[in-house]
Amino acid sequence: MTTKFTKDHEWIRVEGDTATVGITKHAAEQLGDVVFVELPDVGKSFSQGDDMAVVESVKAASDVYAPVSGEVIEVNQSIVDAPEGVNDAPEGDGWFVKLKLSDPSQLDGLMDEAAYKEHVANA
């Protein structure tokens, strides 16, 4: 299982040709208390960098971008019903979608955990 990160604070965890996507702990902390999550429909396809979901907090609304291209095969309904789940476990049970990868080579352009931590520290 490989976990990668984007400069926009999404994480992606890959198992085979399936990728689970969410926002990082850093992003959740910056947002504050999440009050609303809008997820895409299962079956919708995205290109890398497309707006994929929306997360709103008491502070701001923010887009969640597709870290790689793929088709949505599952959404996390629990964070729609209880958005605070994003704050409780942003890099665990607070995931947003699962994608079927259409171009696994795009993962090579993402950061590993050490590079992401450095990115956050220098932001």
Say if residues 47 and 75 touch (Cβ distance below 8 Å): no
What tokens does 99 get?
């994608």
Answer whether residue 123 shows pLDDT above 90.
no
Q: H or E element: which one contains 73?
A: strand 70-75
Answer whether residue 1 shows pLDDT above 80.
no
Backbone angles phi, psi at 18, to 5 degrees: -115, 135
The single-letter DSSP state of residue 54 is E
Tens digits of residue pLDDT in 60-103: 999 999 999 999 999 999 999 999 999 999 999 999 999 999 99
Tens digits of residue pLDDT in 32-71: 999 999 999 999 999 999 999 999 999 999 999 999 999 9
CA distances from 25 to 14, 42, 69, 96, 104 (A): 18, 25, 23, 13, 24
Tens digits of residue pLDDT in 4-21: 999 999 999 999 999 999
Res 71: pLDDT: 98
- Interatomic CA distance for residues 106 and 76, integer angstroms: 23
Residues 6+ apart with CB under 8 A from 18: 73, 98, 99, 100, 101
- Interatomic CA distance for residues 59 and 67, integer angstroms: 24
pTM of the model: 0.96
Domains of the chain: 2-103 (2.40.50.100)
Res 122: pLDDT: 92
